């Protein structure tokens, strides 16, 4: 792991992995690896979902202390995409969407 070489993992309906010695890949749900500061999930079904983003090392292991944020949303049948927002870090090091 090297400074400046981390990236983000985006999760849909998956618990945020917290094991420091294992890649941050959930056993359930979906995830995407990205260097971008935003991600748009396509074709999300109607219903309740949780969306998370986590900052990870270049070997995909979680940073410690953990740096992540989760939001719970309800998707209706007719959804108009919102403009992408750029997350910012809070004083505690967590990401604020």
User: Could you read off the pLDDT of 50-69 as tens digits, one per residue?
Assistant: 999 999 998 999 988 999 99
Residue whose tokens read 């719970």: 72
Return the pLDDT at 9. 96
What's the half-sphere exposure (Cβ side, CA atoms, 13 Å) at 27?
Answer: 3
pLDDT at 1: 65
**For residue 49, is pLDDT > 60?**
yes
Provide the edge-to-edge strand list for the sheet that holds 7-12. 30-34, 7-12, 47-56, 68-75
pTM: 0.75
């Amino acid at each position: 792991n090297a400074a400046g070489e981390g990236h983000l993992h985006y999760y849909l309906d998956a618990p945020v992995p917290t094991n420091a010695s294992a890649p941050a890949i959930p056993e359930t749900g979906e995830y995407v690896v990205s260097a971008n500061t935003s991600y748009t999930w396509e074709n999300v079904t109607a219903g309740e979902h949780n969306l998370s983003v986590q900052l990870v090392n270049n070997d995909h292991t979680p940073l410690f202390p953990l740096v992540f944020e989760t939001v719970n949303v309800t998707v209706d049948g007719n959804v108009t995409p919102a403009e992408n927002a750029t997350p910012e870090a809070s004083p505690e090091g967590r990401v604020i969407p």
